[in-house]
Amino acid sequence: VLNINDLSQAIRPNFLPGDGMELKILKQGKEPQQGVGYLNDGTMVVVEEGREYIGSEIDVVVTGSLQTSAGRMIFARPKDSILAS
């Protein structure tokens, strides 16, 4: 028997710190200066220093990820950020 949740977890792309991606910043995060976007699979990406890019599509660099009961969250910074390098 296949578990749909296990299957969806297995086919999600893995992102490691230092990986880059293009992301549209859709809304403000919970903390000042954060922006939030989503991958095609619904994974939330929290972008530090991303608030100023709301409504824009930018290149980001992954800084970490977290698995929660609600799903996976990815943390990133804008590629042109000094702290991303």
What CATH number is given to the structural domain containing 71? 2.40.50.140
Report DSSP letters for the chain, one per residue. ---HHHHHHHHSPP--TT-EEEEE--EE-SSTT-EEEE-TT--EEEETT-GGGTT-EEEEEEEEEEEETTEEEEEEEETT-GGG-
Write down the pLDDT at residue 16: 87
pTM: 0.81
Domain interval for residue 43: 4-84
Residue 6 pLDDT grade (very low, low, confident, very high; cuts 50, 70, 90): confident
Token pair 């296990």 is at which residue?
6
Domain count, the chain: 1
Residues 12-53 pLDDT 10s? 667 889 999 999 999 999 999 999 999 998 899 999 999 999
